[in-house]
Amino acid sequence: MVADLPYFARGTRMCGRSLRQCVLDPGTPRNYADPHRSVILRVGPSHDEPMTTDGTSFGRQISKARKAMALSQKELAARIMKEEDGTAISPQYLNDIEHDRRSPTSDHLIRQFAEVLNIDEGVLFLLAGKIPDDLRSQVSDPAKAAEAFVNFRRAITN
């Protein structure tokens, strides 16, 4: 098998995508926006590095909860409705979310996932790296918001 690989990939860890799409090279900065956009992408030591210390990312949490409920991606996608037109998201979009290739585009989708999968929406907002729009609109004093973030950081690191 190693002999079948091109010279530049021998001894290199690869992610789940094909060699043509992604070669992992420790020590090189990541491209989080689109981790598989180039032919040979050099990324950091662990392409699947978690967003939290327990190894959970937004996509992994969605996938884990979906599987626990014995739902297929198609079944879950049919239950998640877009805010704009009330149609269901596509199974491919859900697949991209579960594999951390895309993020949910709105607070509405995060809340839909939380409701359908019985997950605390605060956890999903944290994993998605978002502050809910309704909360952000209530911030009247940026200094208070900054102080709240300092307190939040203290609370999670202790």
Q: What is the pLDDT of residues 45-63, one digit of tens each?
A: 333 444 444 668 999 999 9
Structure tokens at 29: 């900065």
Residues in the chain: 158
Distance CA 102, CA 94 (A): 9
- Residues 114 and 132: beta-carbon distance below 8 Å: no
* Distant-in-sequence, close-in-space partners of 72: CB < 8 Å, separation ≥ 6: none
pLDDT at 54: 61
What domains can be seen in the chain, in order of their start residue? 1-49 (no CATH), 58-135 (1.10.260.40)
Q: Which residues of the chain are under the pLDDT cut of 50?
A: 1-2, 5-53
pLDDT for 80? 97
100: alpha, beta or left? (left if phi > 0; alpha if psi -120 to 50)? left
